[in-house]
């Protein structure tokens, strides 16, 4: 389980990023899907990753060192909070730079072992999410995995949750607000990142 985490640094592109000492988990999702809130909830800290009601607030690639233990064994991994795609109110040129930097980072950062694709559970079939899912499939290496995580599940009733589980067999339903699904997700992130 995760017992501690700390912010390390922020970068614009892979050429600036520090070398990796550990396996990495990359969090992707459209703006305002709850990436920062989920990272904070998993790491059991309120203000580790900066969350905002303003879409597109995360504009850099942010690294966090995450301290874990499993059956008396201690180890570290990196969480990477990536810029949200979609609704950020920035210029077309800035979006193009973000897109180029992200594409290079995701393709060339060999230490990423797990992609966490976040989807708002109230909007499960948006074209932008489908495009990102397809993109990840095209770059996925044999040593990498994707987890599809549906956020804000506290906004759904039981029938709506059941529908997601039927339509998306591998879905994780989570809520940073009421902690639903976080324990299972935390466990599987560690298992799949480290190959336990």
Nearest residue to 86 via CA among 151, 21, 131? 131
Burial class (CB in 10 A: 0-12, 13-18, 19+), 135: middle
Q: CA 146, CA 158: separation in Å to the nearest integer?
A: 25
- For the domain that residue 148 is a member of, what is the CATH number? 3.40.50.300
Would you tell me the crossing angle of helices 127-139 and 92-108 to the nearest 10 degrees? 40
pTM for the whole structure: 0.91
Residues 6+ apart with CB under 8 A from 50: 36, 57, 58
> Residue 173 is encoded by which pair of tokens?
């339903």
Between CA 168 and CA 182 the distance in angstroms is: 18
Per-residue pLDDT of the chain (196 residues; tens, 9 = 90+): 999 999 999 998 888 898 888 999 999 998 889 999 999 999 999 999 986 555 445 578 999 999 999 888 899 999 999 987 765 555 677 667 767 888 899 999 999 999 999 999 999 999 989 999 999 999 999 999 999 999 999 999 999 999 999 999 999 999 999 999 999 999 999 999 987 6
Structural domain span for residue 144? 2-194
Query: What is the total count of domains within the chain?
Result: 1
Q: Which two tokens stand for residue 99?
A: 């897109």
Strands 172-173 and 2-11, by their bridges, are: unpaired
């Amino acid at each position: 389980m995760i017992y501690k985490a700390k912010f390390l640094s922020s970068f614009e592109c892979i050429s600036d990023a520090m070398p990796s000492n550990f396996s990495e988990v990359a969090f992707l999702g459209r703006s305002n899907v709850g990436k920062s809130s989920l990272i904070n909830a998993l790491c059991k800290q309120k203000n580790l990753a900066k969350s905002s009601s303003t879409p597109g607030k995360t504009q850099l690639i942010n690294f966090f060192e995450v301290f874990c233990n499993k059956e008396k064994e201690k180890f570290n991994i990196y969480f990477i909070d990536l810029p949200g795609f979609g609704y950020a109110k920035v210029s077309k040129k800035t979006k193009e730079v973000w897109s180029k930097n992200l594409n290079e980072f995701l393709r060339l950062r060999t230490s990423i072992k797990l992609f966490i694709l976040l989807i708002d559970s109230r909007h499960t079939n948006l074209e932008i999410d489908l495009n990102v899912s397809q993109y990840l499939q095209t770059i996925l290496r044999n040593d990498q995995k994707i987890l599809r995580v549906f956020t804000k599940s506290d906004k759904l009733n039981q029938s709506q949750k059941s529908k997601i589980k039927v339509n998306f067999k591998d879905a994780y339903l989570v809520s940073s607000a009421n902690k639903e699904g976080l324990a299972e997700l935390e466990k599987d992130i560690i298992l799949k990142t480290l190959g336990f």
